[in-house]
A and B are shown apart, each in its own frame.
Chain A
Amino acid sequence: MTLEAWILFALVLFCIGLYGVLARRNLIAILIGIELMLNAVSVNILAFNHFLAPDPAVGQIIVLFIIGLAAAEAAIVLSIVLTVYRQRAAIDVQDLKELKG
């Protein structure tokens, strides 16, 4: 597989995740889209690391940081989901407009 093929693969995944974030109204479905986008970025970084800068360590460490931050972000988002559900018994983003100007 060439570098272009891997980058296009990552791009397809990123666009699927972008569609998920934009089209869904369920908070957990939006989180799924965000995770797909983060993984697409990881694939992109590892493809560049494999083909253009063959240092075994650096690209892997950046992707490990992405995975760690994604775990932190998922924990926060899921606790927000639970709080929102407790307050209004639904997790539809259309209902969340307290801060709307």
Chain B
Amino acid sequence: MIAAGLVMLISVAGAVVAVSVKNIVHAIFGLGIALGGLALAFLLLSTPFVAAMQVLIYIGGITIAMIFAVMLSSTGKHEPGEGARRRVLAGIVSIVFFIAMAWVVVGSDFGPLMELAPEDMESAWSVQAIGRALLNDFNVAFELLSVVLLVAIVGAISIASRHDEGEDPAINEEGGA
């Protein structure tokens, strides 16, 4: 109970830092804190394998890639400031959405709650069930996801390396438009 409250507090604090500070590198650190807190939340929800993947892929991969993008793209001097009007409108939309959804959640009956039984807990800690399900029931989705990742890698490389072909008149025209 205390552990769960602490984890929620860490995640929400990190998320608030991530969306509110001006400096984009500090925002990425806030995102890293929030993602670490969420990995702990996944542990509390008895999914240790997903927590490990969260640490590896999100904290170790996506935030580092974001920092690289900041290093390659940030001008440092020209940081676009948000207008107060934009922030107030965004806050109103988020708060209205929160109130509406919280009203639905609090008012709904989820039926009988079952926690994971201890013997299920044992199998949740092993990756055997996940591997078996990935290669049986979810095999098509698994293979499709690998194709999506391949296409994303090829697409990212081809989008990011356009400038190498600056001699091509079509590309120049596109860039100058």
Contact of B45 among A46, A85, A90 (CB under 8 A): A46
Q: How far is the CA of A22 from the CA of B117 in the complex (A)?
A: 42
Known contacts A36-B19, A46-B45, A52-B114; A12/B12 CB under 8 A: yes
Judged by DSSP, the binding face of B is helix
Option from A20, A25, A83, A91 in Cβ contact (under 8 Å) with B160: A83
A16 touches B94 (CB 8 A): yes
Question: Given A8-B102, A54-B120, do A15 and B94 touch, yes or no (CB 8 Å)?
Answer: yes
- How far does the Cβ of B9 sit from chain A's closest Cβ, in whole Å? 10
Tell me which of A2, A78, A92 has the highest count of chain B C-beta atoms within 10 A of its own C-beta. A78
Name the CB-closest residue of A to B49: A60
Bitwise, A55-74 to B at CB < 8 A (1) or not (0) is 01111110111011111111
- Interface bracket on A: 35 or more
Cα separation A33 to B91 with both chains bound (whole Å): 13
Q: Nearest Cβ distance between residue B100 and chain A, in whole angstroms?
A: 10
State whether B115 touches A51 (Cβ < 8 A).
yes
Given the complex, which residues of A lie within 8 Å of B16, measured CB to CB? 16
Are the CB atoms of A80 and B159 closer together than 8 Å?
A: yes
The distance from the CB of B138 to the nearest CB of chain A, in whole angstroms, is: 5
A residues within 8 Å of B by Cβ? 1-9, 11-13, 15-20, 22-26, 28-29, 31-33, 35-36, 39, 42-43, 46-47, 49-52, 54, 56-61, 63-65, 67-76, 78-83, 85-87, 89-92, 94, 98
Please report B residues at the A interface, Cβ cutoff 8 Å: 1, 4-5, 8, 11-12, 15-16, 18-19, 24, 27-28, 31, 34-35, 38, 41-42, 44-47, 49-50, 53-54, 57-58, 61-62, 65-66, 68-70, 72-75, 78-82, 86-87, 89-91, 93-95, 97-98, 101-102, 105-106, 110-111, 113-117, 120, 123-124, 129-130, 132-134, 138, 141, 145, 148-149, 151-153, 155-157, 159-160, 162-163, 175, 177
Closest 7 CB pairs of A and B: A20-B19, A22-B90, A72-B152, A23-B90, A56-B124, A85-B73, A79-B160
